[in-house]
Structure 1
Amino acid sequence: MASLKSLHIMHARPAQPAHSGDTYQPPRKPGRGPRLLAKRPVRPGDTFGVPGQGSSALTSLVTIAALLGLWFAATYWHWVKPLFLPSPQAVYNKFIFVATQGFANSTLAEHTAISLLRVFGAFALACVTAIPVGVMMGVSRFARGVFDPPIEFYRPLPPLAYLPLIIIWFGIGEFSKILLIYLAIFAPLAIAARAGVRSVSIEQIHAAYSMGATRTQVVWHVILKSALPEIFTGMRIGIGVGWTTLVAAEMVASTSGLGFMVLNAAEFLSSDVVIMGIVVIGFFALCFDMLMRYIERVAVPWKGRV
């Protein structure tokens, strides 16, 4: 009788796991597929909550929608006069008009093209010159003594302060506009490159020397690569300063450009053109910033993990 009862219990109860560390899982019913909402594996740091971790895309979309809704409400119920804040429909209609008919003898595409050429031309020149200067300032005290005083002297100055001097020296041509934007981008990019070099771990440098690396190899393969996160941050900051300086550069003797269009429209109280120009500038600045973030993720995959 006891043997029959024990046999009955063995058939009624599923077999226990062989190892004590295993967890028991009931048998899956026939025809039932895998769970669609299965939990993902926990990444290091998720248990305690890493500050700032996670995607903020949904919050950004809600914020943009809320700002647009506030803009619609403020213009629909006339909280602000149209002279100071035109409606989104008016700005969109002006965008179509300027894109097709033009403003100040140039279409929107022509204004945008000349501004992009000025900003990114100055940005490319700054990357070619400022990054090597910043790296030299970080690895050589002689270079730091030569370049640090002039950079730290003019860096806090607003571009409008030395714009008259640039005009006196180089005239009112295209070169002076690009030079003004270049100087505004050069200082933060060089300082970011120097900070990136100074943040390199000394253990990495000693390890490279112990494996027979030369000074040039240490600078190229260890210091420069370790400084890339700071350099990318400086590039993002520099291009933002470049777009800010664009308006100042196009104040003098300009007949085209987004900054010129905004300033010219402000003189005639065309707030719809002003807002439209601001939106276009912000759009291209945002696109470039997102591009730089993508390039940084590809070129510096170890950022935040080491």
Structure 2
Amino acid sequence: MSISTTGVLTRARKPEATGPPRPAQRPASRRVSLRRWISPVVLVAAWQLASSTGVLPPEKLSAPWTVLTSAFDLARTGELGNAFVVSLGRVGAGFAIGAVAGVLLGIVAGLSRWGEALVDPPVQMLRTLPFLGLIPLFILWFGIGEETKIVLVALGVAFPLYLNVHSGIRTADARLVEAARALGFTRGERLWHVILPGALPQALVGLRQSLGLAWLALIVGETVNADAGLGYLINNAREFLRTDVVVVGLIVYAILGLATDALVRLLERRALRWLAP
């Protein structure tokens, strides 16, 4: 016998509708999605109007059309692509290190009172330290190379994952755990079949938060002693007062953050399908 949330209850299916489908639902959802584009389009139009009339000078902020033109030029020359690849590699390496550390520490602290007593206090102290305050120390330890940037990203990833994994394990359904114990499940089987699946929704929330902080940490790391990447592109443009290139770099950061968040949301829908009624 197995403890599982899949197939335990068979829900009575509602009788299928015999009439024609209601076509009004799709247009309504489309209207809602189109309404979400109204304010961004208005803001961009106001930005372009302010730039065209001289209210917003180009040395303060370039016009949207100028930003778009600069983005095409950077993409055509390959400069934007190279910076994108470098930044993505840093985030990937930092995420891998931080995710492993955060999940393992969260499991240790969540499953053991001694583990929580030993792991939780230093983690709670470290997570309150600002990234900018850690950069001088990391430069002394790791130099100005890639290690400092990767460690900053790893820290940004580890703390949200640790907190959510730890909370998910601590708030696991005690009735399911007790039922698994009564059925003779070993400690490892209870962990694998009951506790970790119960903590999965909370852990995926932490994953979304971690990816958001990973990009923020990368921005901080790449604006200090970077010789490649999106942050270097932004800093170099700042020196020459190229606000259009600065905005392009920020937009790429934002797109990468939204894309990774959408990827995790897709993973969340697939992984948590067993929770659907």
Fold conserved between structures, TM > 0.5 = yes
CA distance in 2, matches of 1:65, 1:92: 15
CA distance in 2, matches of 1:201, 1:188: 22
Alpha carbons of 1:67 and 1:128: their partners in 2 closer, same or farther (altered >3 Å)? same
2:56 is matched with: 80
CA distance in 1, matches of 2:60, 2:73: 20
Q: CA deviation at 1:97?
A: 1.6
1:184 equivalent to 2:156? Answer yes
User: Do 1:119 and 1:181's aligned partners in 2 also have CA atoms closer than 8 Å?
Assistant: yes
One-letter amino acid matched to 2:68? Y
Q: CA deviation at 1:56?
A: 6.0
Matched residue count: 255
CA distance in 2, matches of 1:39, 1:210: 51
2:101 is matched with: 129
Unaligned runs of 5+ in 2: 1-18, 26-30
Deviations 1:87-130 (A, max 9, x none): 1110011112212235xxxx111100000000121112222221
Q: CA deviation at 1:270?
A: 1.1
Deviations 1:127-170 (A, max 9, x none): 22211211221111111111111111111111111111111112
2:46 is matched with: 70
Q: CA deviation at 1:263?
A: 2.1
User: Do 2:98 and 2:156's aligned partners in 1 also have CA atoms closer than 8 Å?
Assistant: no
Give the secondary-structure state (helix, strand or coil) at the position aligned to 1:227.
helix
TM-score between the two structures when normalised by the length of structure 2:
0.85
- Where is the helix percentage greater, Structure 1 or Structure 2? 2
Larger radius of gyration: 1
Alpha carbons of 1:58 and 1:195: their partners in 2 closer, same or farther (altered >3 Å)? farther
User: Do 2:84 and 2:230's aligned partners in 1 also have CA atoms closer than 8 Å?
Assistant: yes
TM-score between the two structures when normalised by the length of structure 1:
0.77
Deviations 1:242-285 (A, max 9, x none): 11111221233321101121122223221101100011111111
User: Do 2:99 and 2:154's aligned partners in 1 also have CA atoms closer than 8 Å?
Assistant: no
User: Do 1:247 and 1:260's aligned partners in 2 also have CA atoms closer than 8 Å?
Assistant: no
Alpha carbons of 1:234 and 1:56: their partners in 2 closer, same or farther (altered >3 Å)? farther
Greater relative contact order: 1 or 2 (C-alpha under 8 angstroms, separation 6 or more)? 2
CA distance in 2, matches of 1:222, 1:125: 26
2:22 to 19, 22, 37: 37
1:282 to 241, 254, 260: 254
Alpha carbons of 1:39 and 1:126: their partners in 2 closer, same or farther (altered >3 Å)? same
Give the secondary-structure state (helix, strand or coil) at the position aligned to 1:128.
helix
User: Do 1:123 and 1:182's aligned partners in 2 also have CA atoms closer than 8 Å?
Assistant: yes
CA distance in 1, matches of 2:253, 2:56: 24
1:233 is matched with: 205
Alpha carbons of 1:164 and 1:35: their partners in 2 closer, same or farther (altered >3 Å)? same
Q: CA deviation at 1:39?
A: 8.4
Superposed structure 1 runs of 4+ greater than 4 Å apart: none
Alpha carbons of 1:198 and 1:94: their partners in 2 closer, same or farther (altered >3 Å)? same
1:101 equivalent to 2:77? Answer yes
CA distance in 2, matches of 1:302, 1:56: 29
Unaligned runs of 5+ in 1: 1-33, 41-54
CA distance in 2, matches of 1:60, 1:141: 47
